[in-house]
Amino acid sequence: MTATLAGCGGGTGGTGEVTLKLVAADYGTGPANTSRKYWDGLVKGFEASHPGIKVDVTVHSWKDIDREVAAMVKKGQAPDIAQIGSYADYAKAGKLYRADQMVSIRTQANFLPSLAEAGSLNGTQYGLPFVASTRLLFYNKKVFAQAGLDAPRTWNDIRDDAAALGQRGVTYPFALPLGPEEAQAEAMMWLLGGGGGYIDDSGSYEIDSAENVRTFDWLKTNLVDKGLVGPTAPGKLDRQKAFEAFTDGRVGMLNGHPTLMQEAERKGVPVGMVPMPGINGPGRSSLGVADWIMGFKQNGHRVQLGKFFDYLFTDKNVIDFADAYDLLPVTDSASAAMESDTRYKPLWKFLDALPDSQFYPYGKTSWARSSESIKENVGKAVEPNGSPASVLGRIARDSAAAARAD
């Protein structure tokens, strides 16, 4: 499952025996729920209905997948299909088919518009959204009830509720994971609530905007300096550790995604979920996160890739994967099907948030370097002697330099 694949040559048309090489990420936590099971079932169905096209699947962990694909491409052995975390570098290098060169008009038009846009480089879609998630504010309903608190709607509600929970001995009144694991997500949720974000309307970075500095000034003054974020400094707290503390009942509030919901309930923690509060009320948009699947040009299997992707993005296949990992479908029709099925009621709030969600600037090839600077530095903005303006300014300079190098 971790062997590097060689590319498959030949077969540029729609006839003849062709084997598509597919490399995918593993969303499971072990052999019992490995993504390999999903792909094996999907490929079996596809091959049965598409004689002459075989699919050879390799699954790598998320720790390894991007590096493995990059190494394959560098060797001149690109897979036909890669399901990974980003597409822009390969699209810019001219290595990917456009979406409209592969999939049917019906398939392309069925992607949620916000995801189709996020999968586009310079207005052209190359990244096909594979799966998505949104974020909501989670709170422990038991400790909130014990403290006589209602769900927060504004930042001041978060501050006041956290103070009340702290007085009652809750270890992490508000868990603020700005550690290197996923600081770019936590930071963006707060920036959106403060009327800012990572880029402006023209697509340029605006990381040290007045709105963003104000947001981190508020976080530092109202939560961190008041000791309401728990015993671990935000810059040292990773998302997974914060999630584990929540499922252990030691967190009052934190920002979470659908997978956390099931794990918390499995461990007996009653979960409340509301849209991420903003300065004066619920935020106008949530953070959305997507993973991507794409077709490489190298082996010339455009027609076969299109047939595979049209099959992959049927409602059943989209829903089966999303359901297996408590994630969200990426198409209008699959989303509508889940919204009308009470089996998926726990996901409805996340589905409601998805169409208006804001995504990372996936189409900027500089985003990977900008994201690394955020992960490395943004937690310093709320340190005891930290300066939000200075730290965000440093990240902005790093991002601008990365953009100029594109």
Domain locations along the chain: 18-132+289-358, 136-285+366-405
- Cβ neighbours around 148 below 10 Å, total: 7
CATH 3.40.225.10 fits 18-132+289-358, yes or no: no
Residues 78-110 pLDDT 10s: 999 999 999 999 999 999 999 999 999 999 999
**CATH code reported for the domain at 136-285+366-405:** 3.40.190.10
pLDDT at 283 over 90: no
Residues 320-363 pLDDT 10s: 999 999 899 999 999 999 999 999 998 999 999 998 899 999 99
Residues 3-39 pLDDT 10s: 323 333 333 444 569 999 999 999 988 889 999 999 9
Least confident of 59-63, 151-155, 316-320, 389-393: 59-63
Degrees to nearest 5, angle at CA 38 with 86 and 82: 25
Asked, colleague to colleague, whether 18-132+289-358 and 136-285+366-405 share their fold, the answer is: yes
Query: What is the percent of the chain with per-residue pLDDT over 90, rounded to a whole number?
Result: 87
pLDDT at 262: 83
CA 315 to chain centre: 21
